[in-house]
């Protein structure tokens, strides 16, 4: 197995201590052959349920882009699955795990990663814990008002002392390189900087996951599972309306027993006539923002990456239907 070991050093004057230190020094393995991955990952089972950190890197990561690396963070090691040198075989070997209910994938903002996996490899990413969603749910649970379009960035999440408290200046360095050369992740052999950057995107996800789970109540944990499943499907619209995807997590019996049954959450897709998307969005997003402020629902646009001319609405059913009705009303006004 091609292998290297990297360490994420603290900023000057800052020390990584406690549990965080454990994740800052784990070995990193670059994988081009399925045999180099742990058996318990390749062969998911109820007896060996796992929680792993997960992320993807690529060129314009979406349905039309190129997935180059999948990062898998275990408690004792990080595996960088090289889709460029390993090809489709090494990615397909990961399909059972990525679709398994026995392996929890901890990821920050799963939408485009899921889209790339689905359209490029036919993989339906399932059983995710999206830390971006979890962050919002914890804020809601603590009584903070929901702010439309206020999604925590991964850099911001790492910096939050409640979850990690680690600065990530190297992320911006890689972003600059990507702007200069969008094919950055396609080059081989992987440089030390590429290995480090890929590993750093998953290095602390398990630590953050355990911190977040301790804060979430049963209802929020259910919401997290459902929203994660809907976010995975968001840009993966198909002709059968997701009939081939796993069912959404049911409401747990202990929540039903409490007598306060939460409303089911849904994903609604609105088709926008060609050429009308700009008017739907409004100047600087004003129209979409006004809908978000009126409804307790998330609204996403396919945008340049696609799918074009579609608006995706995720939220409690009544709120999602309300947002859909307002949006359709705006379309009729045109």
Q: Please state whether the peptide bond connecting residue 237 to the residue before it is cis, i.e. omega within 30 degrees of 0.
A: no
Count of C-beta atoms within a 10 Å radius of residue 248:
18
What's the pLDDT tens digit per position in 221-270? 999 999 999 999 999 988 888 888 999 999 888 887 777 788 899 999 99
pLDDT tens track for 134-182: 999 999 999 887 776 678 999 999 999 999 999 988 888 999 999 999 9
User: What is the reported pTM?
Assistant: 0.91
State the Cα–Cα distance between residues 124 and 146, nearest whole angstrom: 29
Residue found under tokens 């997960």 = 54
Query: In this structure, how many other beta carbons lie within 10 angstroms of the beta carbon of residue 208?
Result: 25
């Amino acid at each position: 197995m091609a292998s290297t070991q990297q360490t994420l050093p603290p900023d000057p004057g800052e020390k990584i201590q406690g549990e965080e230190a454990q994740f800052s020094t784990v070995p990193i393995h670059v994988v081009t052959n399925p045999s180099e991955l742990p058996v318990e990952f390749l062969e998911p089972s109820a007896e060996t349920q796992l929680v792993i950190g997960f992320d993807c890197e690529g060129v314009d990561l979406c349905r039309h882009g190129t997935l180059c690396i999948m990062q898998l963070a275990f408690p004792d090691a990080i595996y960088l699955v090289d889709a460029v040198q390993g090809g489709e075989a090494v990615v397909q070997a990961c399909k059972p795990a990525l679709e398994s209910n026995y392996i929890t994938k901890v990821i920050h903002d799963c939408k485009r990663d899921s889209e790339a996996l689905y359209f490029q490899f036919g993989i339906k990413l399932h059983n995710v814990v999206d830390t971006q969603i979890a962050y919002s749910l914890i804020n809601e649970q603590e009584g903070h008002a929901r702010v439309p379009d206020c999604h925590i960035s991964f850099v911001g999440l790492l910096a939050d002392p409640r979850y990690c408290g680690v600065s990530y200046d190297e992320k911006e360095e890689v972003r600059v390189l990507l702007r200069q050369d969008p094919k950055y992740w396609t080059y081989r052999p992987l440089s030390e900087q590429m290995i480090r950057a890929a590993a750093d995107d998953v290095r602390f996800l398990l630590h953050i996951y355990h911190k977040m789970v301790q804060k979430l109540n049963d209802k929020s944990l259910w919401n997290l599972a459902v929203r994660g499943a809907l976010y995975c499907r968001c840009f993966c619209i198909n002709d059968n309306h997701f009939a081939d995807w796993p069912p959404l997590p049911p409401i747990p019996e202990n929540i039903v027993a409490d007598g306060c049954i939460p409303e089911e959450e849904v994903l609604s897709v609105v088709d926008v006539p060609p050429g009308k998307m700009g008017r739907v969005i409004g100047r600087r997003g004003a129209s979409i923002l006004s809908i978000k402020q009126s409804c307790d629902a998330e609204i996403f646009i396919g945008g340049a990456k696609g799918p074009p001319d579609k608006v995706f609405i995720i939220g409690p059913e009544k709120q999602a239907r309300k947002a859909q009705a307002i949006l359709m009303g705006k379309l009729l006004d045109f």
